[in-house]
Amino acid sequence: MKKLFPIIIFLITTISVFSQPTFPDNGPLYIDNVVPRIDITIDPDTLEWLYQDENLSSDIEFTARFIFNNGTIVDTIEPVGFRLRGNTSRHSKKKSFKVSFNRFTSGGKYYGVEKLNLNGEHNDPSVIRSKVCWDVLRKMEIPAPRANHVQVYINNNYYGLYISVEHIDEEFIKSRFTYNDGNQYKCLWPANLNYLGDDPDLYKLEQGDRRVYELKINEELDDYADIAHFIDVLNNIPDGSLECELDKVFNTYDYLKVIASDILFGHWDGYIYNQNNYYLYHNTMTDKFEFIPYDLDNTLGIDWLDRDWSERNIYDWQQHGSHYRPLYERIMNDSFLRDQYTYYMKQLVTETIDLDSLITAIEQRRDMIAPYLQNDSYYPRDWGYSMTDFYDSYNQSLGGHVDFGLFPFLETRINSILNQLESTTMYPVIKYIKHNRSSTSELWVRAYVDVADLPANVELHYNYESQSTIELSMYDDGMHNDGIAGDHIFGGAIENIPQNTSLFYQIYVSDNLNKVTLLPCEPVFIPASGGDEHMLFINEFMASNASTIADEHGDYNDWIEIYNPEDVTVWVGDKYLTDNLGTPDKWLMPDSYIEPGEFMLIWADGEPDQGPFHANFKLSKDGEEIGLFGDGQQVIDEIVYGQQTTDISFGRKDDGDFEWILFEEPTPRVSNQTSSIHYPNQDIGFDIFPNPSNGNIVYLTDKISYKVYNIYGQLVAGEINYDFINISTYNNGIYIVVSDRGIKRKLIIN
């Protein structure tokens, strides 16, 4: 009988994606050193209908033409969906708008974005406060929307200066967290995260015509079990267990930065004070919820509640006499997490932000946007603002809801924070822990480490079953599968793991002050690899099936073919398929058998109720992962693939072979040798040689514009119209080269 050994995968060999959020650059769409022009052309009668009082709450999207001009790029997209957006802003004179590129064009995107939010900022005379907040959040490495100022024309009439803010949807989630298959909740008033009971349906409570926790991804499943469990843990774990138990279900340390930023901004309309305006995303890479800020226009001195937000207690920000805010209040009552928050708040106001530099940058942006406000006839319609008010609003109060000028608020708020900061030192922070097996005998472990006092001493502590603990140094030098040297990501490898032996590990960090953290609180269990698991192959798949083969319901869905090369029948009812290697148990395969030399077809349609051979996930045409795992989550086979073409499958050249090729004539349920074949590098882009390489230069088969990314999705380099890549400064490892046409190639440096 054949034994299981890990299968080398295509494109990114044996490397799983790191769980740290990524941050896409602004690109042409969110360029912020100019003020792009957006033109909307829509039927005049439709536009008039949108502005009628009885239609203001409508979310009907109407066809329109969209033109984007940033001075370098001019693009026209037609049709797009167009409607009003917002809540109270729908009743303002200066409306806010939503543009949908995918409403009338399936899968439609513009520079990777499906929707644009064009916000009128009618309450903010400076028309800049939310932009300042978004920029600070991104500087703090919080997954927050990109934003820029734009000028908006509708039917060639100037509607004014707007802020374009990235929509928080599936595309946003995927660009930050790699996968977008977890539940995403839009949380609006009164979303206080209080415990309502064990029944997940209790959290489908409604306010007006919407849910308080509104599911925005996986709506068709409507399963609230994950948020119910998170809220249960948050509310009901004992005080002494908060740090450990909350860390299992929530990205606590990044949320501490969100708390600090909210309180710096004077953001009273968020979770902590007004139980409002945030998203929760269940990150399937970490199995933890992520907190994503939302709607930051009521900040930096904008006040509707007659409170002095500039001096408010940074440890007592919640609304008194109102509902309990467990996520904030429990953190503030926990001495360990309170100290971590204090450290991040101090770091924010003394290192991340230099007030003089920030004010200079804001003044430069003010002067850049001022000419586009000069002729904005909608700017004065809500509050009577003039250009004098615009300039004054940066330095002084205007009365009403504008209690502070922007600059005095920042100065007062920062000084107040500095005076309130408690004298304490945080313990080392360990987050984004990730591991992967590169062979049966080797396990790589990585983690992001932050300490208050350098240097950091980072160790991997592990033991085999009941044996004594072994201590292994971890490094941030770019040579230990740890990313880029100095990026706070430490890596280390456990080698020579005995076959059929399980192990446990934790990460130990101490700093220069001898402060120590050991996480996770419960050691990570790594099941034994090897043993008697039968060999199976992911043999062929199609990530965009328009007309190749239909399922039993007549639907053309994505599919995955599994091949049994063994000489015995294999039961698959204890095995799992996934499109996320970080979640190996995503879909339990059916109670069924594959005969020797036979093939099983699985429909990757995200509709498990359609039958036993229908998985609970879909495949991405743009590229992702497929994994086949055994009982105990050991790898049977896995592949990371790039962009696919409709009705062309990707499979092994011969059944179970190492080499993968494209099939113009796909072979679902039959041998791959029955089809004519086309190799993936022919006539579809470029190739790299020599590859692998250990020199200083690799050459391309054509002149292209390209970007080079490391395995963590971080941009390493990019060139325009080059036929070579200078790799003299690259660390050994695997890189992905992406052309301006979206063609991807693997580059191996050794």
pLDDT in tens, 543-581: 999 989 988 888 999 999 999 988 888 899 999 999 988
pLDDT tens digit sequence for 520-530? 999 998 877 65
H or E stretch including 541?
A: strand 537-542
Q: What is the per-residue pLDDT for 7?
A: 33
Residue predicted with more confidence, 61 or 727: 61
- With a cut of 70, say whether residue 692 has pLDDT above it: yes
Mean pLDDT confidence for 443-463: 94
pLDDT band at 654 (very low <50, low <70, confident <90, very high): confident
Mean pLDDT confidence for 339-348: 96
| Residue 476 and residue 488 in contact, taking contact as beta carbons nearer than 8 Å | yes
- With a cut of 60, say whether residue 126 has pLDDT above it: yes
pLDDT band at 443 (very low <50, low <70, confident <90, very high): confident
Q: Cα–Cα distance between 640 and 235 in angstroms, integer? A: 39
pLDDT band at 376 (very low <50, low <70, confident <90, very high): very high
Q: Cα–Cα distance between 648 and 665 in angstroms, integer? A: 7
Terminal C-alpha separation, the chain: 35
| DSSP character string of 224-278 | -HHHHHHHHHHHHS-GGGHHHHHHHHB-HHHHHHHHHHHHHHT-TTSHHHHS-SE
- With a cut of 60, say whether residue 333 has pLDDT above it: yes
Report residue 657 as tokens: 């072979």
Q: What is the per-residue pLDDT for 672?
A: 86
Mean pLDDT confidence for 223-238: 97
- With a cut of 90, say whether residue 137 has pLDDT above it: yes
Question: Is cis: bond before 6, omega within 30 of 0?
Answer: no
**Chain CA centroid to CA 619, Å:** 18
What percent of the chain stands above pLDDT 90? 67
- With a cut of 80, say whether residue 93 has pLDDT above it: yes
Give Dmax over CA atoms of the chain in angstroms.
Answer: 84
- With a cut of 70, say whether residue 235 has pLDDT above it: yes
Mean pLDDT confidence for 308-329: 95
Q: Cα–Cα distance between 69 and 109 in angstroms, integer? A: 16
Q: What is the per-residue pLDDT for 748?
A: 79
In this structure, what are the phi and psi dihedrals at residue 246, rounded to the nearest 5 degrees?
Answer: -65, -35
Mean pLDDT confidence for 272-299: 95
* CATH, domain range 429-526: 2.60.40.10
- With a cut of 70, say whether residue 673 has pLDDT above it: yes
The residues, ordered by sequence, that sit 6+ positions from 196 with a Cβ below 8 Å of its Cβ are 202, 203, 205, 231
Q: Sign (positive/negative) of CA torsion 75, 76, 79, 80? A: positive
pTM of the predicted model, to two decimals? 0.78
The residues, ordered by sequence, that sit 6+ positions from 468 with a Cβ below 8 Å of its Cβ are none
Q: What is the per-residue pLDDT for 722?
A: 81
Residue predicted with more confidence, 17 or 168: 168
Residue predicted with more confidence, 480 or 64: 64
- With a cut of 60, say whether residue 532 has pLDDT above it: no
By mean pLDDT, which of 212-226, 462-476, 530-544 is the weakest?
Answer: 530-544
By mean pLDDT, which of 228-232, 579-583, 714-718 is the weakest?
Answer: 714-718
Q: Cα–Cα distance between 520 and 171 in angstroms, integer? A: 30
Q: What is the per-residue pLDDT for 682?
A: 36
* CATH, domain range 537-674: 2.60.40
Q: Cα–Cα distance between 318 and 328 in angstroms, integer? A: 8
The residues, ordered by sequence, that sit 6+ positions from 276 with a Cβ below 8 Å of its Cβ are 187, 188, 189, 190, 191, 269, 270
| Residue 559 and residue 582 in contact, taking contact as beta carbons nearer than 8 Å | no
Q: What is the per-residue pLDDT for 678?
A: 38
Q: What mean pLDDT is reported for the chain? A: 89
H or E stretch including 443?
A: strand 442-450
- With a cut of 50, say whether residue 315 has pLDDT above it: yes
CA distances from 198 to 205, 219, 229, 250, 619 (A): 14, 20, 8, 18, 33
The residues, ordered by sequence, that sit 6+ positions from 415 with a Cβ below 8 Å of its Cβ are none
As beta bridge partners, residue 290 has: 281
| Residue owning tokens 């997954």 | 143
Mean pLDDT confidence for 447-454: 93
Mean pLDDT confidence for 731-744: 74
Q: Cα–Cα distance between 60 and 309 in angstroms, integer? A: 38
Q: Cα–Cα distance between 35 and 153 in angstroms, integer? A: 13
Architecture, CATH, for domain 688-749: Sandwich (2.60)
| Residue 560 and residue 577 in contact, taking contact as beta carbons nearer than 8 Å | yes
Q: What is the per-residue pLDDT for 153?
A: 98
Residue predicted with more confidence, 729 or 614: 614
Q: Look up residue 48 and give its DSSP letter.
A: H
CA distances from 103 to 62, 79, 146, 264, 618 (A): 9, 8, 22, 38, 20
Q: Give every strand in the sheet of 576-578, ordered side by side.
A: 587-588, 576-578, 625-629, 635-640
pLDDT band at 438 (very low <50, low <70, confident <90, very high): low
Q: What is the per-residue pLDDT for 529?
A: 64
Q: Cα–Cα distance between 144 and 178 in angstroms, integer? A: 15
The count of other CB atoms within 10 Å of the CB of residue 300 is 26
The count of other CB atoms within 10 Å of the CB of residue 392 is 17
Residue spans in the chain of domains classed CATH 2.60.40.10 = 429-526
Mean pLDDT confidence for 315-329: 95
Amino acid at position 366, single letter? R
Report residue 425 as tokens: 């030192």
Mean pLDDT confidence for 153-173: 97
As beta bridge partners, residue 458 has: 509
pLDDT band at 675 (very low <50, low <70, confident <90, very high): low
| Residue 134 and residue 165 in contact, taking contact as beta carbons nearer than 8 Å | yes
Mean pLDDT confidence for 504-532: 88
